[in-house]
Amino acid sequence: MELADYLRILRKHWRSITALTFVSILAAAAFSLLTAPTYTATTSVFLSVKSVASTGELSQGSTFAENQVQSFARVARTPIVLQPVIDGLGLDVTAEELAELVTVTVPTNTATLDLSVVDEDPEEAARIAAAVGDSTVAIVQQLSPPAADGTDMVEATIIRPATAPLSPTTPKVKQNLALGLLLGLLLGAGQAILRDTLYTRIRNQRDLEHVTDRAILGTVVLDDTLGHLSLPGLVDAHSLAGESYRRLRTNLQFLGLGDGERSIVVTSTVPGEGKTTTAINTAVTLAEAGLRVLLIDADLRRPRVADALRLEGAAGLTTVLIGRASLEDVVQPYGGSNLDVLTSGPIPPNPSEMLGFDEMRQLLEHAASRYDAVLIDTPPLLPVTDAAVLARITGGALVVVGSRVVRRSELAASLDSLDQVEARVLGLVLNKVKRDDEDRYGYAYRYDAHRMDGEPALAGLKPAARPQRGAARAS
């Protein structure tokens, strides 16, 4: 991924990142409050060589002090030093337990030992540190080799006595809060990137491009008003979704379908992606452009067009296919415009076989001769084969991709099913895209039309009165 991808992920998941960071800071604050404070007292011991007459003895003592300072640092935490401290102060600990409280450091290029003792009581810490320093001085003098005259060659001197510390060593509140902030940011960013990587559903055009290189004819944003209008199948003509369908109409007109390819199958991969809503609104926008449009509900399993447009559904496509009526007998005008609707009619027991009849091919040929565009709402591709059957005998398929509904593998499988029957895929329509998922590379333009008071929300289209069943449509 590029830097822009990471920035997009962070911008998208900023809420969860902020929440994790806040929780991490709270955890660090709670840890600081619940941790008992401890104090550190330090004393320093300097190792030096006594003045001697012989230059060789001086060199020997100096070299010994510098080379053996690390050894004395180890000795300072052994029972030979600590047991006298325990006995002298009357401590109720063992030498090993006291060693855990003592830290010995040697500053670089020096012959100095810094002895630090940690305790919950600052006075006790200073008392123990002073005793450890004194005991270390005694042991250094005991272990150092004697000079020629029998005196100690190396002398240990306390150069910084232990004093009671004024402020606790732990907890380090500022440091803990800073670490909590850093850890929270890392955890938040990590979970955001992991969630984005493991999320397999398609959300935006970038996800679509990872699945297929087929043309994306339109992106329809999620319309909150859908379902609250007088006709739940239509979107507000002045909304962003309405403008999205008009852009889709323009792209469809540029496809350059021939006279025999005016029929377009509208389908999806799985249920719930909004194929019926897309078919209805695309048909409406095409009719608004002055084209004669026929919308056919060929979803003979779960028909939705009649209910969405409040049309009669007792007679329709199946009635024509079994020869009980002609197209002109059952087609219904919609809105007093150039849009006609052929509902599904009674649901048959064999939808796939019925759609594969020669009568269906003849019906589509007849419809193509009467209309400029024929849109066919069909079932999803993965559950059944109806859409693939129809896509092969029409101008092609318009595949609706529901944002956050279909998985990448499912979309790839549905496109493969169309390729297997050699059906033409006209393009994809990314539907129900949330504002947070829009992939606009940082740019979002909106130019809302001004609606006068009393102007209809559906661009002038009004539902026609329900025709009587079997009423003929004048040609």
Helices of type H across 35-166: 55-67, 69-75, 79-89, 95-99, 122-143
Is 466 within a domain? no
Between CA 4 and CA 251 the distance in angstroms is 29
For 153, residues 6+ apart whose C-beta sits below 8 A from its C-beta are: 49, 50, 52, 57, 60, 61, 64, 144, 145, 146, 147
Q: Give residue 185's pLDDT band: very low, low, confident or very high (50, 70, 90).
A: very high
Which residue range(s) make up the domain with 114? 39-160
Q: What is the pLDDT of residue 232?
A: 53
User: Bigger pLDDT: 99 or 472?
Assistant: 99
Q: Are residues 240 and 326 in the same domain?
A: yes
Strands 293-297 and 373-377: parallel
Q: Are residues 273 and 357 in the same domain?
A: yes
Q: Are residues 15 and 104 in the same domain?
A: no
Question: Does residue 58 have a pLDDT over 70?
Answer: no
The mean pLDDT value for 158-170 works out to 93
Is 167 within a domain? no
- Taking CA atoms, 344 is separated from 243, 327, 452, in Å, by 28, 12, 37
Is 448 within a domain? no
Q: What is the pLDDT of residue 141?
A: 85
Which of 302, 254, 265 lies closest to 418, judged by CA? 265
- Write the pLDDT tens digit of every residue in 308-329: 999 999 999 999 999 999 999 9
Helices of type H across 230-274: 240-253
The mean pLDDT value for 286-306 works out to 94
Q: Are residues 59 and 81 in the same domain?
A: yes
Q: Give residue 443's pLDDT band: very low, low, confident or very high (50, 70, 90).
A: very low
Question: Does residue 95 have a pLDDT over 80?
Answer: yes
Indicate the number of domains in the chain. Answer: 3
Q: Are residues 53 and 30 in the same domain?
A: no
The mean pLDDT value for 93-108 works out to 93
Which of 220, 231, 224 lies closest to 456, judged by CA? 231
Q: Are residues 184 and 242 in the same domain?
A: no
Question: Does residue 369 have a pLDDT over 80?
Answer: yes
Q: What is the pLDDT of residue 99?
A: 94
End-to-end CA distance of the chain: 58
Q: What is the signed CA dihedral for 302, 308, 311, 312, rounded to 10 degrees?
A: 20
Question: Does residue 2 have a pLDDT over 80?
Answer: no
Pair 331, 301: CB distance under 8 Å = no
Which amino acid makes up residue 259?
D
Q: Are residues 221 and 92 in the same domain?
A: no
- Taking CA atoms, 113 is separated from 68, 99, 107, 140, 158, in Å, by 11, 15, 7, 11, 9
Q: What is the signed CA dihedral for 140, 141, 142, 148, rounded to 10 degrees?
A: 130
Beta strands in 165-283, from DSSP E residues, in sequence order: 216-221, 263-268
Q: Are residues 27 and 60 in the same domain?
A: no
- Write the pLDDT tens digit of every residue in 198-214: 888 998 898 898 899 99
Q: Which helix (H) or strand (E) holds 429?
A: strand 425-433
Q: What is the pLDDT of residue 143?
A: 84
3-class state of residue 296 by DSSP: strand
- Write the pLDDT tens digit of every residue in 62-87: 566 667 788 889 999 999 999 999 99
Lowest mean pLDDT segment, chosen from 19-33, 433-447, 448-462? 448-462
Give per-residue burial for 329-368: e unless 16+ CB within 10 Å, then b.
ebbbbbbebbbbbbbbbeebeebeebbbeeebeebbeebb
Q: How many degrees, rounded to 5, is the angle at CA 45 between CA 39 and CA 51?
A: 170
Q: Are residues 179 and 94 in the same domain?
A: no
Is 447 within a domain? no
Q: Which DSSP string corresponds to 40-51?
A: EEEEEEEEEE--
What is the helix, strand, coil percentage profile of the chain, to 5? 45, 15, 40
Q: Are residues 108 and 244 in the same domain?
A: no
Is 355 within a domain? yes
CATH number for the domain spanning 283: value is: 3.40.50.300
Is 385 within a domain? yes
Is 442 within a domain? no
Burial class (CB within 10 angstroms; exposed 0-12, middle 13-18, buried 19+) of 411: buried
CATH number for the domain spanning 85: value is: 3.30.70.1130
Is 452 within a domain? no
Which amino acid makes up residue 210?
H
**Tokens describing residue 302:** 């779960």
* Residue recorded with tokens 């902030």: 181
Q: What is the signed CA dihedral for 247, 252, 255, 258, rounded to 10 degrees?
A: -150
Give per-residue burial for 58-94: e unless 16+ CB within 10 Å, then b.
bebbbebbeebbeebbebbbeebbbebbbeebebeee
**Tokens describing residue 451:** 């609606």
**Mean pLDDT over each residue of the chain, to the nearest integer:** 84
